[in-house]
Amino acid sequence: MIEQGKYLYCIMRSLTPRQFISPGIGGPTDIVHTVQFKDLAAVISNAPVEEYDANRRNMMAHTKVLEEAMLESTVLPMRFGTVAQNAEVIQEQILQQRYHELDDLLHQLDGQIELGLKAFWREDIVFREIVAENQPIRQLNEKLAGRSPEQTYYERIQLGKLVEEALNAKRNTDTALILERLRPLAREVKINPVFTEKMALNAAFLIAREQEASFDQAVQGLDAELGSRMLFKYVGAMPPYDFVDLTIR
């Protein structure tokens, strides 16, 4: 038999016990509910004590619960796959022992949401820009035309380094332009690593809920201005994943 525990989704404010419509990560029969201490509530459901695969089904179940909870309250999202032995452990070792820490975090994030923005260059356009703007790249690229990879091995390595440097410089320029428009609307900004050479920016913004419409308009303005050469992936509103550093053991 697999030991049964309590899967932990987030911490929120609630003076009374709650139940949620979203099914738990263990399936529709595992009702998502809260365990309380004073005005803090941990959102939990029954679940096996095991390692959880970060597959689409599990991630969606985790996210749906957070989205439902944040409709009513600021939430402190827990790391995916956090499971405790029972509700008493959560109540005593998290809500009670760390009450002041959690209370402070919720005060700091009250009324704040996270919005995510990723900016990708349109590949054919950005490389045309680099060739047009950079004479050494243009000359080396022309020199390699029509010659075999075997004949030009070291020159191609050199070209790759020059292109990488040019992409980094362009990334810095485009990131500065985007942040110049969006940073004034945000309380905090976190720049995350890019994970493809086509990505110019991977950022998370912590903003007040009442600023969401203005932020939307600013992103739309960037898309209208830069959309011919960049593709924007804009997501939110989300719980403040990137702005909560909360470790639960």
Q: What is the pLDDT along the chain (249 residues), one digit of tens a residue?
A: 567 889 999 999 998 999 999 998 877 778 899 999 999 999 999 888 888 888 999 899 999 999 999 888 899 998 888 888 889 999 999 999 999 999 999 999 998 999 999 999 988 888 888 888 888 777 777 776 777 777 777 777 877 788 888 888 889 999 999 999 999 999 999 999 998 888 999 999 999 989 999 999 999 999 999 988 999 999 878 888 888 877 776
249 is a domain residue: no
Final residue belonging to a domain, choices 67, 86, 110: 110
pTM score of the predicted model: 0.80
Q: Are residues 195 and 234 in the same domain?
A: yes
Is 215 in the same domain as 184?
yes
DSSP code per residue over the chain: -PPEEEEEEEEEE-SS--B-SSPBTTBTTS--EEEEETTEEEEEEEEESSPPP--HHHHHHHHHHHHHHTTTS-EEEPPTT-EES-HHHIIIIIIITTHHHHHHHHHHHTTEEEEEEEEEE-HHHHHHHHHHH-HHHHHHHHHHTT--TTTTHHHHHHHHHHHHHHHHHHHHHHHHHHHHHHGGG-SEEEEPPP-STTEEEEEEEEEEGGGHHHHHHHHHHHHHHHTTTEEEEEEEEE--GGG------
Examine residue 248 and state whether it is found in any structural domain, yes or no: no
Whether residue 130 sits in one domain with residue 106: no
Q: Which of 110, 133, 152 is the last residue of a domain?
A: 110
Domain assignment of residue 29, yes or no: yes
23 & 102 share domain: yes
Residues 130 and 226 reside in one and the same domain: yes
Based on the fold, state whether residues 123 and 68 are members of the same structural domain. Answer: no
Instruction: Answer yes or no: do 64 and 144 share one domain.
Output: no
Residue 119 belongs to what domain range?
A: 113-243
Structural domain count, the chain = 2
* Measured distance between the N- and C-terminal CA atoms of the chain, rounded to whole angstroms: 23
**Domain end marker among 80, 95, 110:** 110
